[in-house]
Structures are given as structure tokens and as C-alpha cells.
Structure 1
Amino acid sequence: MRTERTAARWWALGALSFAELLVMIDNTIVNVALPRLARDLDAGISGLQWIVDAYTLVFAGLLLTGGYLGDRFGHRRMLVTGIVGFMAVSALAASAQSLGQLIATRGGLGLFAALVFPATLAIITSIFVDAKERATAVGIWAATSGVAVAIGPVLGGWLLEHFSWTSVFWVNVPFGMIALAAIFAVVPGTRPLEVPRFDIAGVALSVAGLGLLTYTLIEAPHVGWGEVRTVAGIVGALALLTLFVAIQLRIAHPILDVRLFANRHFATAAAMISLAFFALFGFIFLITQFFQAVKGYGPLAAGVRTLPFAIVMAVLSPVAMMLSHRFGARYVAVLGAFLMSGGFALVELSSRDSGYWELIIWAMSLMASGLAFISGPCTQLIMDALRPEQAGAGSAVNDTTREIGGTLGVAVLGSILTSAYVAGIADRLSGRGLPREAVDVAEQSVMAGVEVARQLPGTLGDAVQVAVQEVFMDGLHDAVWAAVAITAAAGVAALLLLRGTVGGHRGAAGEAGPAGVDTDIPATATASEVEGEVPARTP
């Protein structure tokens, strides 16, 4: 009987991981479709950024709400509701006729994804009560998140080779049906908790603050970084987020218990995940354009070339959890940050003539290795800091760090690229006898510039294409330097801040968790740990 119950838990983990895969793939599946969307919907770089970020912004902004609703009405119920809504809005996205309609439906997908994602981790932490099994399950869950981000461009590329761009949305319908069937078959229901009154002011302020910040960062290269509109937008966003934190500290039942961030291990682990996905999402946004605009690959070839992310993540995520148990999460996460930084630094050696096998694959493999070493161990640190009643909202905090990081990564790295591209392309094309209209089109995006070059005759077209690609590479290098610095700084911060014990809270699954889990000293799953009898150590 015990063996059957154990098997049932792992089958449930498989179903929950597939549901997670469904919503996480949508973070990046549209990336390889961006060139076609730019052409078919007349979208510039900022429009392309919004196609990507509308999803992640709403996703991130409502994850805490999704966690609350799961606690209030049952996590499996919210999981099913989210998948059904996700399928319905996917059909609307596939039917979009304009850039505005597509951006709006991408936001709708983010809304229902926010119901699905926190429910998956909350259910996992409730059904895996053994400390060692739960650590393994959380590691698989974290690996699925990273692998899904990398699978997105591959699946999107294959679909675009055979169908139109609408297929990247239609595919969610059969995948959603599979997920629903698996959930009804093997995932147990969860009992709703007695939860306090909903914090609607907190939700509104968090969404408004993040939305204004993202909008300002995306539009700044076109408006001007020093213009009043840009400065006012950044100041206004920070003011809204500050007000959000202040209100969360003062009310009895906040949507986000910001006091959790007073625990430096919780705060550092959450920040590490956020920064890792900041760099990853931003880089995938850039590299898929590099593959198609500079290297000339088709959508499928471009997607396949992102596979190292998925393969390396899948192989190294279990290794990362084993190393975390053996040597402590601190050292594994620090190594991960420096591996990511090294991967981004390799990109700085690239040029428009750089070969995939000579350079790019090694850079991406280092990034994926680093993400694997950060994601699982830091997720476990976050969940170890939570009380049982915080399982839904707490797992949503963990999920939110990913999505906020990814949203800002696309906004910031994309805007750095845009600033360099817009400033450089006009200078490079001036004096070549091109009509002003052609230069204006080339300024919209690198794919638009490549299209202009293709329509020009002979050597002039070749010269314009080289100019467009070289200016893009300049912007790519500028953007990637930001990723190098951010991930390296994260490694230094983790080395300093993840010392001592993670401590104080009970385990998220409802059992008495460790009184303190040392992030430096290896953790082994002994019987005393499972029963929560590990003595607290002095930091």
C-alpha cells in the first residue's frame, strides 16, 4: 500500500510538471515568431518587447493573487480553472488581427497562467511530506521551469516551419487537454484553508507599479532616457511600489508578507532566482533575433540552437540538488551565478561572423549550467522559510521572482539593445543615398533593417545588411555587459549573504521543518531531519 501511495505522488508530480510546462513555455515560444510578427503586424522593437512582456508582466503581477485564490478555494480547483481559461484565451490570441489585440490576449494568457503556476508548487509541497522526497520533487519542478523556457523556441520554430505564427497559440489547446486529463486522473484535491480578507489594494498597487516600470523601460529608448516622461515614469513606478510595501507592512493580512524578506536567506534566494531569470529571458529575446537577423537561420533552426539550455538544465538540475545536499546551497548558488556570468562574458567575444559551434553553444551551456545551480537550491531555500499556511502565497512569491525577473530582463536588455541600435543605424546608413522612409523603417527593428537591405540592389543591399547586423551586434554587446555585471554581482552577494542557517519557519508541507538548515554545511536527509529535529546552528 505504501508503495502504491509513493508511486501516486510521483505520477502526480509528472502531471503537475506538465501543467507547469504548459504555462512556462509561453514565456519564450513566441520569440522565434518575432520576425514574422514584426512583418505581419507592423511591429517595431518596442512592439515585439510588449508581445513578450505583456504575458510575463500580468503573470508576475497576479501570481500572488493566484496563490491566495488557491489557498481560499483549493489549489487543484484553481489549477483546472487556469488551464481551461488558458486554452480559451489561446484561441483568441491565434485569432488576433492587430498588434494591440495580440498584446491584449497575451496579457489574458498571463492572467490564467497566474492561477496555474503557484498551484503546481503548492500541491507538490503538500503531497511530498518526506524531507528528502520533497527536495527531489522541488528540484524536478525547478528544472521543469528552466527546461520549459528553453523548449519554447524549439517548439515555436518547428510550428513556424509548418504553419503560420498562429500555431504557437493553437498548440496550447491540445496540450491543455492533456494536462487536464492527467490532473483529473492522478492529482489529489486540496482542502481550502481559512484565509483572511483579500488584499485588493495590494494587488492593484503591485500591478500598477510593475506595469508602469516595465512600460517606461520599454519606451525609454524611443522617448529618450533623460526626458521628463521617462524620469517621471520611473519615479512614479518606484513610488507605487514603495507605497505597496508600506501598506503590506501595516495591514494585518497582506497579499505579500514582505516581512519574509527580513530573512536574509529567503530574500537572497528570491533575488538570485529573479536575477538569473532576468538575464536568461533577456538573452533569449536577443539571441533568437541574432540567429535569424544576423546568422540567417529559419525559425526552426533558430529554435533548435537554443536546445543547449534545455539539455544542460535537464542534466544538471538533479546534480545541483545533490551538490546542494552535499556541500550546502550557498556554494552551489554562488557557483551558478559565476557560471552564468562567464557564459554572458563569452558572448562579448562574438561578432556577426562567429560560428555557433565555435562560441555560441559554449556560452549558452555555461548560462544553462548556472541557472540549474541557482534555480533548484534557491527554490528549496525559499520553501524552507515558509510556514504551512503560507504555502500558496509563499510559492507564488517564489514564482513571482522568476516572472518579474524575466519581465524586467526583456525590458532592460531589450531597451539597451534598442538604444544602441536606434542611435547607430541612422549614422551608419546616412550618406548611402537611401530614402528617409527606408532609414525610418530600418530603425524600427533589426529584422526591418534586414528586410530593407534585401529590397536594395546588389552591393548597396549587401552594405546595408552588414551595417544593420554590425549595429545590432554593438547593441547586443552593450546589453549582455549588463547581464555579465548583474550575475557576477549576484554571486558575490550570495557568497556574503547565504551564510549560516535558514531558519525559523515550519516546513511548507505542514510538518515540522528543520529549525535551521545550514547553507554552508552539507545537508543529509537523516531521520531526525525528516522529523524536524535538526538543531539550529549559530550563523
Structure 2
Amino acid sequence: MTASPAAPAAPVGSRPNRVVLLTVACLGQFMVLLDNTIVGAALPDMRDRLNTGLTGLQWIVDAYVLLVAMLLLSGGVFADRFGRKRVYLTGVAVFTAASLVCSLAPSLGWLITGRVLQGIGAAALSPASLALLAAAYPVPRERVKAIGLWAGLSGIGLAAGPVAGGVLTEAFGWPAIFLVNLPIGVLLLLLGLRCLEETRNPHAPALDVPGTALSVLAVGVLTYALIEGGARGWTSPLILGAFAIAAVLLAASVTVEARHPAPMLPLRLFRQRLFTVSNTAMVVTGFALMGSSFFFSQFFVYVQGSSILRAGLQTLPVSLAMVVVSPYAGRLAARYGFRVVVTVGLALAGLGLLALGTVHADTGYGNVWWRLAVVGTGFALTMSPLTGAAIQAVSPHEGGLASGISSTTRQIGAVLGVALLGAVVRTRQSGGASFEAGLNSAFLAAGAVTLATAVFTGLWLARSRPEESPTGPLTVTAPNEAAAHSR
């Protein structure tokens, strides 16, 4: 009796393999997005247990966001050039190991180090996950559906973060919010090593190491000056020197990018008004959204006296509104045009932030939650159409690059938002104002900048209607969709 032959392995791109790949890609992006919001819920506990102040909390957030912002484009190029599976699994491994470092951190310095490593892992993981999907779904209509599922399922991480962070922190303390990444990371590594197929783009551009290094240093030094300026004094030699060094590094970065044959950030794209305006508005979106959300849990805990768990639940209207509204933003832009939807979205977000600037310790939650929901709705209407506008401004083969740049500008705005709005709060406190008054000033400043940008986009966001494609209107629905790009 002869043994029956073994069943042949499923070919690359077969339905079983695609299901596993989609699961792995979605779960990886879920882990990254969960980390974006789960940390905010734990900031009050970190402040108390690590005996740190506002500056320390700013570094805990910005150390991660800075690395994600400045390495996203390089992560996409790495994935295409050296293999999407390899870069994805490397990102998962680094992110998981960094999460363990964060959970075991005995001091603020170690925690910031772990957050830097997390940012590096996320900058590799996120673009590689989308690149894997793009390679596995070559048919445009199927690819749109797969990316939509990737965006929707992974976006649940945004809504789950505040609740999960509140529950874990209340029960076990802040280290637990990082430990939750370990089982997810181990599962992804086991599934990925066993089931993912390697793909790469042999024509991927060369890496722009000088441009990447200079941009990281420039934004990093600028962030240092903005965060530390409130504590050390804006006119101290160290802070003034940091601003000067950041300006020199930024100028050097622009010069290198202009001369590099394959720049990380092609400056010629900014000759297109639509591209420039959309990315400028995206910087403000990241600035106002991340800068204000940095204070949400702190407001409920330190101003209104909520527990950490209750504060996590109280911040939920922002992320829930974003998850619910984001899938419709692209459709609305296809019907009414980029200019209308973006301007309305920014106006709503700005008004919501201005309304938050008037809440106080005795303001009932029934008069707070709708303000948070308006902010989330406004920014949900804004992000996807802005990315779509940036993509429309360039040639079809540069759409992935435009998407990646759009995400990078949003993340840079987020870095600056945490730094600058934190500086507003600290400056007000140094002048004798209460923490509550400082928060009100920060929310009002974010709202004013957002409303001014709404006027700016209303006047200058030209070519406002998306072009139709064989798969339907151009839509980008992921809350962190442009974090990944592939060529």
C-alpha cells in the first residue's frame, strides 16, 4: 500500500493564503493604531508613578511619533527593496521587543528609549503591511476591498485604545498597556514566518540615507527646543542654540533633497498647488488632533477628578466618531469635492476645539461629550480627502509616494502639536495660571489654528473633485492609511 502524495502547497495569491495575509496585515496595523490611543489613557498614571511632569509626558508621546513620522517613507522603500515579508516581520519583532522594554522600564529615560524603538518598529511594520496587501491583490477592485477591510478592522484599535488603556492601567498600572502587545506580536511572528510569501520590487529606488538622517535630526532638534523651552526658558542659550541648529539642519536637508537623484521627499511635487495646500492642511490636522488629544485624559483626571478608567471611557467619543465617519469621508468628497468636505471638516473640528476651551472642572459630562464628538467628526471628514487630494495632484505612478508624504506631514504635525500645545500649557502655568486655564488656552489655540486653516483650504484647495477610476471614486479610508505606501 503506497502512501498518498502530499497535498500541494497553496500557490501565492490563492484564497487561503490571502485570508491569512489579510489577517496578519490587519492585526499588525491594529497593534500600531492601538498604541496610538492606549498610551494617552495611561499618561496620568505614568505621571504619578514615574514622578515626572508635563515635559516627561510630552517626550513619552513624541519620542514614538517623531520616529514614525520621519521613517515612514523609508520604511516603504525598505519593504519594496529588501522584501515586504522580511521588513514586516522585522518591524513586528522590533515593536514587540520595544513594548517589553517599555513595560519593564524602571525610569523615564528607559521608557523613552523603548518608545523610540517602538516608533522604528511601527515605521517598518505599517508600510510593509499595506505593501504586502497591494502585492497579493493585483486586481484593482479586489485591492480596494482588501485595503478597505484592512483600514476598517485595524481602525478598531483607535476606538479600543482609550477603553483598553483605562481598564489595564486601573487594574495593573501603566506597564500593562505595553505588555498587551506581546501576545499579538508573537502570534504575528509565528503566522508570518509560516504563511507569508516574500515579494519585492526589483525596481525600487535607492535609499536616501542623507536626506532621511538630516530630516530626523532637524525635526528632532526642533522638537527638543519646543518641549524643553517651556521648562528651561525660551531665551536660554541652550534653547536658542537648538532652534538655530534645527534651522541649519532643515536648510541642509532641503539642499540635499534638491540634489539627490532619488530623494526621499521630491521637492518638485510641492510645485503643485493642490499638493502643497493639502499637505499644509494635513500638518495642521496632525497638530490640532494629536496636540489636543494628548490632554484629554489629563483634563478628566486632573481637572474633573475622574478615575483613569472613567477618563478612558470619557474620551471615547473622539475615536468612535472617527471610526464611524471616516469610511464616508471619501464618498462625500467624491460627491461634493475635496474643498467642500475638507473645509467643513476643519471648521467642525475647530469649533469643537474652541468649545472644549470653555469647559471647566464643574462642567457636566453631558455638556462635554458632544464637543469631543464634533472634534472627532471634523477630523474624520478631513484626513481621507486631504490624502486623496495629494494623490490626485501627482501622476498615477506616484500615488503611493503622495500617500506616504501625506501621512508623514500629518505625523510631523502631531509631533509639533504635542510640543507646542504643551508649551502653551507650561507657559501659562509659569505665569501663575492653573493647569485648567492652561488646558483651556491650548484647546483655544488649536481651535483657532484649525479654523484659520479651514479658511485657507476654502480659498486655495483647487481641483476639488476626485477623478473617477475603474474601481470607483478615489477614497482613502484608513485612519492611519497613508502610513504605508508602496511603489
- Answer yes or no: same fold by TM over 0.5: yes
Q: Does 1:212 align with 2:175?
A: no
Which residue in the other structure is 1:363 paired with?
371
Which residue in the other structure is 2:485 paired with?
none
Q: Does 1:231 align with 2:194?
A: no
Give, as a single letter, the amino acid of the residue that structure 1 aligns with 2:35.
D
Paired with 1:186 and 1:357, the residues of 2 have a C-alpha distance of: 49
List per-residue Cα deviations over 1:311-336 (Å, max 9, x = no partner). 21222112212111212222111111
Which residue in the other structure is 2:4 paired with?
none
Give, as a single letter, the amino acid of the residue that structure 1 aligns with 2:253.
F
> Is the Cα–Cα contact under 8 Å of residues 392 and 399 in structure 2 kept in the other structure?
no
Give, as a single letter, the amino acid of the residue that structure 1 aligns with 2:71.
L
List per-residue Cα deviations over 1:393-420 (Å, max 9, x = no partner). 5443233223212111111111111111
Of 433, 442, 446, which aligns to 1:479? 442
SS of 2:379's equivalent in the other structure is helix
Paired with 2:243 and 2:432, the residues of 1 have a C-alpha distance of: 25
Of 448, 451, 461, which aligns to 1:488? 451
List per-residue Cα deviations over 1:302-358 (Å, max 9, x = no partner). 111121122212221122121112122221111111111011011122111111112
Paired with 2:318 and 2:265, the residues of 1 have a C-alpha distance of: 32
Paired with 1:296 and 1:32, the residues of 2 have a C-alpha distance of: 14
Q: Does 1:38 align with 2:50?
A: no
Paired with 1:277 and 1:160, the residues of 2 have a C-alpha distance of: 26
Q: Gaps (5+ residues) in structure 1?
A: 426-470, 501-518, 531-539
Of 279, 283, 287, which aligns to 2:296? 287
Which residue in the other structure is 1:416 paired with?
424
Q: More deviation in 46-55 or 238-247? A: 238-247
Which residue in the other structure is 1:444 paired with?
none
Paired with 1:528 and 1:309, the residues of 2 have a C-alpha distance of: 29
Residue 197 of structure 1: CA displacement? 3.8
Which residue in the other structure is 1:73 paired with?
82
Distance 1:18 1:309, change over 3 A: farther
Calculate percent identity across the aligned residue pairs: 37
Distance 1:30 1:246, change over 3 A: same
Paired with 1:152 and 1:529, the residues of 2 have a C-alpha distance of: 31
Paired with 1:39 and 1:401, the residues of 2 have a C-alpha distance of: 33
> Is the Cα–Cα contact under 8 Å of residues 66 and 396 in structure 1 kept in the other structure?
no
Residue 28 of structure 1: CA displacement? 3.0
Residue 74 of structure 1: CA displacement? 2.2
Which residue in the other structure is 1:336 paired with?
345
Q: Write the mapping of 1:100-179 to structure 2, written as runs, cut at 5 A.
A: 100-126=109-135, 148-179=157-188
TM-score (norm 2): 0.86
Give, as a single letter, the amino acid of the residue that structure 2 aligns with 1:407.
V
TM-score (norm 1): 0.78
Distance 1:305 1:140, change over 3 A: farther
Q: Gaps (5+ residues) in structure 2?
A: 1-12, 475-487
> Is the Cα–Cα contact under 8 Å of residues 347 and 450 in structure 2 kept in the other structure?
yes
List per-residue Cα deviations over 1:241-274 (Å, max 9, x = no partner). 1220121011212122222222222232223233
Residue 296 of structure 1: CA displacement? 1.5
Q: Does 1:248 align with 2:211?
A: no
Paired with 1:279 and 1:213, the residues of 2 have a C-alpha distance of: 18
Paired with 2:405 and 2:43, the residues of 1 have a C-alpha distance of: 30
Q: Does 1:90 align with 2:99?
A: yes
Paired with 1:136 and 1:330, the residues of 2 have a C-alpha distance of: 26
Which residue in the other structure is 2:3 paired with?
none
Distance 1:529 1:63, change over 3 A: closer
List per-residue Cα deviations over 1:499-525 (Å, max 9, x = no partner). 12xxxxxxxxxxxxxxxxxx23x6555
In the alignment of these two chains, the number of paired residues is 463
Larger Rg: 1
Which residue in the other structure is 1:440 paired with?
none
> Is the Cα–Cα contact under 8 Å of residues 159 and 323 in structure 2 kept in the other structure?
no
Which residue in the other structure is 1:403 paired with?
411
Which residue in the other structure is 1:457 paired with?
none
Paired with 1:491 and 1:339, the residues of 2 have a C-alpha distance of: 9
